Structure 1
Amino acid sequence: MFRFFETLIDPYPQATPETPPRGLLAFLHHYSKPLIPLLILMSLLTAVISIIEVLFFSFMGDLVDWLSEAERTGFLAEYGWRLAGMAALALVLYPVLVLVRSLVTHQSIFGNYPMLVRWLAHRYLLEQSLTFFQDEFAGRVSQKVMQTALAIRETVMKLMDVFVYVAVYFTGALWLMGNSEPWLMAPLIVWLAGYIGLMRYFVPRLQRISKAQADARAEMTGRVVDSYTNIQTIKLFAHTRREQDYAFESMDGFMQTVHRQMRLVTQLTVCLQSLNSLLLVVMAGIAVLAWHQSLISLGAIAVAIGLVMRLRMMSDWILWEVAGLFENLGTVQDGINTIANPQQVGDAPDARQLDASRGEIRFEHVHFGYESSKEAAARVFDDLNLTLRPGERIGLIGRSGAGKSTLTNLLLRFHDLEGGRILIDDQDIARVTQASLRRQIGMVTQDTALLHRSIRDNIAYGKPWASEAEIREAARRAHALEFIEEAVDAKGRRGFDAHVGERGVKLSGGQRQRIAIARVLLKDAPILILDEATSALDSEVEAAIQEQLYTLMENKTVIAIAHRLSTIAMLDRLVVMDRGRIKETGTHAELLTLDGLYAMLWRRQSGGFLGEESQEEKSQDGKSQDEVQRTSSTLFFL
């Protein structure tokens, strides 16, 4: 029975997530569509249950009147069937309805609902651009996904369950009062007016504070996670105290919202209890006076006092449910600002799979600038043109900010162009799917971050269907097999099963680099990007791996970025960039003969100290000596 209701909703739909709407109601509907039939059923069951509970009060009033008026000897004969009917209602129908409602609510909706939201939101955010995640704390984004999913469930269920129950129950109570003595409705109506007044005053204020609190909570979580993620840097610079202050600032900001919220809570509690006490005293006084004047029966008094006591107990619950509703609405609204952002880089509606059988790459009239550099004079690229022949291996060389990494990011379509196009085998990469594009490109970066999974999983990320033999062979070719076989993690997992820690922190920089190289070796994509691929390796290991990299480069189109020029001097062609423009292109020998920027950089790395300044550097672009020295240092260490 439980399993049947638990499987009525699939919390992991496979359809491609759509961009969520930014309107509050539309956003709630977007994530609630699969559950609407069950939510409606829950509301109907809730309405029926609340009607039955009101009937119980009516029956208790009738019972008091029957007991006060009937003769003991004929009581069961006269009222027995009514008592049996009410007993059946209380012992059979009511529990069955409660059971069905509970199964629908707890088994079908309660767990599946937020998981459905998390699944869809997570899949949508995974397709967000690289810029989106560079502008956000990872912990903050994850916190928004988690708390927004719960807030959506609570908001919708309160609207369709709690308020249905309250509306039907209170309407039934008024009807019951009016049916016995119409003027007994007056205190309830006055109480309701005061109750609504309290909600109109306090709830919007609680909503505003709750929205600020949700944002402050996400900020606090983001800062704490950021500290843990970069714990090595914190300890390296001995900035534990500074991180405490950094976290304190966000924690104290969160606490300020808590204090503001609790002040309102205290005021609301006092006002509500005063209003409830007033209702009880007035209703009891009116009932006693009416009974004294023989205007109402004892049964009517029992019903009136019983309903007032019930409403008194419910009023706290109702008001906090209302406050909770608006708190969750604030959380949802805050989540919309993160989750419902349109994807900056998306697949075209008619995007097709990329076929990179030859590997020719053409950058044609490329114009691009980051968000902070949209002015024409500050663009990274302005009418850049570059062609890589199939199987050609080129090296990109240039100062920091010349545009080398940006060029490879554009090839991977981490950003869209402002103008021009990039073609792979005559196919515009803006017209193919991003997944198929990136499957055709293997990349090893200078800053290698691994997944917090096993070494096997990290290597096989390049080819998930690879056999164990293929994974071991890739590790061997990357000269990683020796340290992998000796690896062991905190849980005793060894070798390829050992986990590498968050971002691979349990491995040295060189070990992480070799895992990344093994991953790309296994992927064996037709286009290869090497961004300082061997920078973290010692000379002996680098020399050994260079042989494998040269083997890997065979029959591939290669873009290599390196600042140790000796590592790329033997490539087919070198492209020297400066300020987003191609200054020189040719082989190593041709560029030395040209005696331009490349020749100057080559001489700088071939002999002399970094601090020394050649005559040509002094005169370059009219720079001062200090400026050139700063440029010299930057060039060397990139």
Structure 2
Amino acid sequence: MFRLFEKLVPPYPEQVPQDLPKGFFAFLWACTAGLRGYLLLLAVLAAGLNAYEAWLFSVLGRIVDWLTRTHPGQLWQEQRTTVLAFAAILLASTALLAGYTTLKHQTLSINFTLRLRWNFHRMMLGQSIGFYSDEFAGRITTKVMQTGLAVRELLFTFIEIVIGLGVYFVAILGLTAGFDSRLMLPFLAWMVLYGLSVWYFVPRLGRIGKKQADARALMTGRITDAYTNISTVKLFSHTNREAGFARQAMTEFMNTGYRQMRLVSSLNIVNHLVTVFLILASCGYALALWNAGEVGPGAVAAVTAMALRISGMGTNIMWEMASLFENIGTIQDGIATLTRPQLVVDRPAAPALHVTRGEVRFEHVRFGYGKVPPVIDDFSLVIRPGEKVGLIGRSGAGKSTLVNLLLRFYDVEGGRILIDGQEIAGVTQDSLRACIGMVTQDTSLLHRSVRDNIAYGRPTATEEEMVRAAKRAQAHEFIATLGDPQGRKGYDAHVGERGVKLSGGQRQRVAIARVMLKDAPILLLDEATSALDSEVEAAIQASLQELMQGKTVIAIAHRLSTIAALDRLVVLDQGRIVEEGDHRTLLARGGLYARLWAHQSGGFLGESTDEEEAEHA
């Protein structure tokens, strides 16, 4: 039976969610898509359970009245039908409770939260590179995890407290009126006092909850950032500095926690005073009416039981209301991140890119990361099918920006880029990047096995194809020697976060193997052999030459010797082409390329002097 309820709500819907609305209630409404019928049924069942619980106190009062009016031995004969009806209702309540608890705990509790996190995660994966440049990875993770849980808890609290207990109090008022309408007065007075305390404390707890959620996300983000970049932290001997950086965020979190706990202590004191008033007022008034002969002992028993029950519930209700507003604060904090629109999106019904020749064409491209002047301005370049082109220029010339635009990590601000006559902005991003292989200078590996990292290039590849790619990248030999603390060996060994357990050269060779396995028709090399020693680089260069056969290649290198043999070299300066041709032609011309070549130190581009810049200008 439980499995049946667990399968009612699919936790991983296939449809990718669209941009979420920024308004709070609109955001909540969007989060309940596909679940609204179940949430409505849960609210109905909660209302029924609370009405049933209030009814039990009325039954207690009736039983006391029967006992005072009925001679011992005559109760069953006189009240048989009523007693059987009460017993039937008590038994039926089990079905009501079973429906409520299975719907809440089996159908919604796990699947609702997972569904939201799954949707939020896919939306974050669809964000552009620029989005991640402005955010801590740990902070984004916290928003995804916290907000999904907070939405579920807010809706559950609303159903149980606002709807369920709302019905409970209405039922109590009706049942006390059944004994004597004047007995409602202490409960009405309590509701006013309780409402005033909620009005004062709960919004303040909600606001501090929002600040605390943001402080928690900041604290998590800073700590995660330090762990992610632990090599840099160690290299510069900044463990104490990073501890202090995290301490600042922890102190902010601590201060919000202190303010929250002050409110909590005040809330508990006020709540106790209000419930003491209810017990004294309701019980005292009921006894006064009984003493005057205007109500029976059953009314006193029922009202006393109701007051004691509310007294026991009062603190819990207040905490639930505080939790409600705290979750509101958490959701409001998460909305700011989760509702940011995706800047790079596929057009509706965009087709897949089909590469038959591999021609790459930049037409009057302009891009500047939203700044003026742009990094790339009126840039035009045609790379013929199968041509090997090197992009050369000092840091900031726009080489990496062109590569990012070709991969559509950013959309151009002007002009267009075409592959085989197809504008890349009009095809799906996945199909575009599936046709491009890239090896970067900053090699990043997933914290998974070596096999998983290489197979990432083509998950459908066989084991033989994966191993062959590793051998071609000169990686198979060192992979065979790998091991991890869990005892996994060779291709099963895990490489650590971002591949930290491997050397720079080993990471680079795994990355090259991954691209070799992908075997895309267009190849991008951004300092592809920068982390390799000379002996290994020579072997890798041979593999890269084999990999480049029949492909369109765009290579970036500060070490000019690594790309001097390419078909054509394009020299960039301030986002524009200033020279192009093969190595010999550019050297003979005596321009910027020749100066860069002459000033290389150890095979790398040198920095120009002010005198040379003036001469070049």
Q: Aligned partners of 2:348 and 2:607: how far apart in 1?
A: 56
Question: Which moves more between the two structures, 338-347 or 70-79?
Answer: 70-79
Shift of 1:21: 1.2
1:449 counterpart = 2:444: yes
> Which secondary structure does the structure 1 equivalent of 2:34 belong to?
helix
Among 611, 619, 622, the alignment partner of 2:614 is 622
Q: Is the 8 A contact 2:9 2:111 kept in 1?
A: yes
State the TM-score, normalized to the length of structure 1: 0.95
Shift of 1:61: 0.4
Q: Is the 8 A contact 1:350 1:431 kept in 2?
A: no
Change (3 A) 1:603 1:238: same
Q: Aligned partners of 1:73 and 1:30: how far apart in 2?
A: 61
Q: Deviations over 1:553-609 (max 9, x none)?
A: 111111000111111001000011111111100000110111011001111227899
Q: Aligned partners of 2:603 and 2:171: how far apart in 1?
A: 94
> Which secondary structure does the structure 1 equivalent of 2:334 belong to?
helix
Q: Is the 8 A contact 1:351 1:431 kept in 2?
A: yes
Query: Paired residue for 2:400?
Result: 405
Among 520, 543, 547, the alignment partner of 1:525 is 520
Question: Which moves more between the two structures, 424-433 or 309-318?
Answer: 309-318
Shift of 1:350: 3.2
> Which secondary structure does the structure 2 equivalent of 1:464 belong to?
coil
For structure 1, the residue ranges without an aligned partner over 5 or more in a row are 629-638
Supply the AA of the counterpart residue of 2:458: K
Q: Aligned partners of 1:607 and 1:253: how far apart in 2?
A: 49
Supply the AA of the counterpart residue of 2:87: A
Q: Aligned partners of 1:500 and 1:276: how far apart in 2?
A: 59
Shift of 1:110: 0.6
Write the mapping of 1:539-578 to structure 2, written as runs, cut at 5 A.
539-578=534-573
Query: Paired residue for 2:164?
Result: 165
Among 430, 437, 453, the alignment partner of 2:425 is 430
Supply the AA of the counterpart residue of 2:529: T
Shift of 1:160: 2.2
Change (3 A) 1:51 1:606: closer
Q: Aligned partners of 2:600 and 2:215: how far apart in 1?
A: 50
Q: Aligned partners of 2:149 and 2:611: how far apart in 1?
A: 64
Change (3 A) 1:440 1:611: closer
> Which secondary structure does the structure 1 equivalent of 2:35 belong to?
helix
Query: Paired residue for 2:16?
Result: 16
Instruction: Work out the number of aligned pairs and report it.
Output: 616
Q: Aligned partners of 1:151 and 1:602: how far apart in 2?
A: 59
Query: Paired residue for 1:478?
Result: 473
Shift of 1:96: 1.8
Query: Paired residue for 1:76?
Result: 76
Shift of 1:37: 1.2
> Which secondary structure does the structure 1 equivalent of 2:498 belong to?
coil
> Which secondary structure does the structure 1 equivalent of 2:287 belong to?
helix
Q: Aligned partners of 2:119 and 2:259: how far apart in 1?
A: 34
Q: Aligned partners of 1:554 and 1:228: how far apart in 2?
A: 41
Query: Paired residue for 1:59?
Result: 59
Q: Aligned partners of 1:418 and 1:230: how far apart in 2?
A: 33
> Which secondary structure does the structure 2 equivalent of 1:34 belong to?
coil
Q: Aligned partners of 1:612 and 1:316: how far apart in 2?
A: 70
Supply the AA of the counterpart residue of 2:430: A
Query: Paired residue for 1:7?
Result: 7
Shift of 1:618: 5.8
Shift of 1:162: 2.9
For structure 2, the residue ranges without an aligned partner over 5 or more in a row are none
Query: Paired residue for 2:588?
Result: 593
Q: Aligned partners of 1:609 and 1:225: how far apart in 2?
A: 34
Shift of 1:610: 9.3
1:106 counterpart = 2:101: no
Q: Deviations over 1:105-126 (max 9, x none)?
A: 1000111110000011111110
RMSD over aligned CA atoms reads: 1.6
Supply the AA of the counterpart residue of 2:65: D
Supply the AA of the counterpart residue of 2:554: I
Q: Aligned partners of 2:448 and 2:324: how far apart in 1?
A: 39
Query: Paired residue for 1:631?
Result: none
Q: Is the 8 A contact 2:127 2:343 kept in 1?
A: yes
Q: Aligned partners of 1:618 and 1:317: how far apart in 2?
A: 72
Change (3 A) 1:500 1:52: same
> Which secondary structure does the structure 2 equivalent of 1:528 belong to?
strand
Q: Aligned partners of 1:609 and 1:471: how far apart in 2?
A: 33
Write the mapping of 1:595-614 to structure 2, written as runs, cut at 5 A.
595-605=590-600
Supply the AA of the counterpart residue of 2:428: T
Q: Is the 8 A contact 1:366 1:382 kept in 2?
A: yes
Query: Paired residue for 2:283?
Result: 284
> Which secondary structure does the structure 2 equivalent of 1:452 belong to?
coil
Q: Is the 8 A contact 1:20 1:340 kept in 2?
A: yes
Q: Deviations over 1:109-160 (max 9, x none)?
A: 1111100000111111101001111111111101110010100001111122
Q: Aligned partners of 1:6 and 1:538: how far apart in 2?
A: 56
Q: Aligned partners of 2:376 and 2:577: how far apart in 1?
A: 10
Q: Deviations over 1:141-193 (max 9, x none)?
A: 01110010100001111122332210111000000111211111111111111
1:208 counterpart = 2:207: yes
Query: Paired residue for 2:129?
Result: 130
Q: Aligned partners of 2:603 and 2:298: how far apart in 1?
A: 106
